[in-house]
Every structure is written in C-alpha cells, then in structure tokens.
Amino acid sequence: MSTLKQRLENRVKDTTRWETRRQLGADGPNMENLWVLACMDERMSVDEALGIHADSGVGGGDAHLFRNAGGIVTDDAIRSAMLTINFFGTTEIVVVQHTGCGMLSANGHDLEAALRGKGIDLDNIPIDPSLPELSLDSGAFAKWIGMMDDVDKTCIKCVDQLLNHPLIPDDITISGWVWETEFRRLRAPDVNAATRAVTQATTASMGVKGDQPPRWS
C-alpha cells in the first residue's frame, strides 16, 4: 500500500504535467487524445452526449473542444484541427451536431437579405479582420453562413470533408454523431433513422421553406 506522502507526490506531479501540457507538444495530449467539433447551442452538452469531460476542466480535460454555429467544418475549424492533430498529440476527431439546431431554423438567403436590408455591403466583408487575405467572392455570403437543410446530411458531409482534407493525416480516427435534443440521446447520422420523423432534423420540420445555399448538398 502506498503512503499518503507518495500519493501526494504523484498528485503534485500529475498536476504539474496538466498545467504544462502545451509546453510538451505532442507528448502532452489531452486525456482522450481527442478533438471535438460541436455546435455552440447552449442545449448541446458535449459531456452528456459523448460521456466525456470536455465542457470544463473538471476530470482533467478529456478533449480539445471547438464550437461554432452548427458544429460545421469551417476554415477556423480546420485550422484548430490541424494544430491539435499535428502538434498536440490528438489522434481522433468527433463531430457532434444536433436536432433542433438554429442552423435549421431559417433560410440562408433570407438571412442575407435581412442583413442587406440593414445597409450592410455583404460583397465587401472582412471575414477575418486580422487576415485581409481571407475573403469571399461576391455573392458567396449566404453560402458562407452555412445554414443546413438536413442535420444528418450535413454531419455526414462534415466528416467526409475532414477525412479528405490534406491537413488531416490519414491515420486519424474520425466519426460523426447526431444528438437528439428532444430525447437527449445520441445516434449515428442516418437519413433513414426512424426518429427523424419525430425530431427537428430538417428545415421542413422547423417550418422553413426553400432550399438553402448549396454548401452541404
């Protein structure tokens, strides 16, 4: 049996390693060697959905967690994934999106029209003020927003984009999942899932008309 002194010494050692992880590069990964791409929705609990500790540091920090509107693949998501995979020891990516997502709740063309109605010139928008070289072609704003027609199709497309991106090594494990907000239950993305009929999985189920700008189709 170990002594209290030994246990305390190990605790201090583990805490010090936790504090200095980022100085260790690939030798200081998070607890699960994991990067999670998730929606920013306040109802989307990554810890509950995946059974890990990523929403807070409690438990040691199981994953690098990246959130945006929809949990979709964007240039900044790729930048973050590239860093954690190539330089911080991450070996797995999980994409988790959810039913009832705000990205299903409106048509991207209508959002663009609403912003133009406020007098905003959407053909000359600084996408990243610190990187003026990054810009959108004229007329691409509605597509850039990334509104979805179908959460399952979008999740599948996001996984495919990560699998085929040159900055993501081929040996990285990548999977996608859909969190059913209505039932607080996780399932694989499947356009034929039985529960789609009773969840908000599409724009039509949320009363939105018209096809979205073609980003995920």
Amino acid at 10: N
| Cα(150)–Cα(98) distance, integer angstroms | 10
SS3 category, 157: helix
Structure tokens that stand for 115 in this block? 């912003």
Sheet containing 173-180, strands listed edge to edge, beginning at the edge strand earlier in sequence: 63-68, 34-39, 92-98, 173-180, 185-187
Quote the CA–CA distance of 159 and 192 in Å, as a whole number.
18
Q: Which long-range contacts (CB under 8 A, 24 or more apart) does 131-138 make?
A: 134/75
Torsion of CA 191, 43, 75, 135, to 10 degrees: 110
Query: Which residues are part of a known binding site for Zn(2+)?
Result: 39, 41, 98, 101
Binding site, by residue number, is 39, 41, 98, 101
Closest to 144 in 3D by CA, of 153, 152, 156, 136: 136
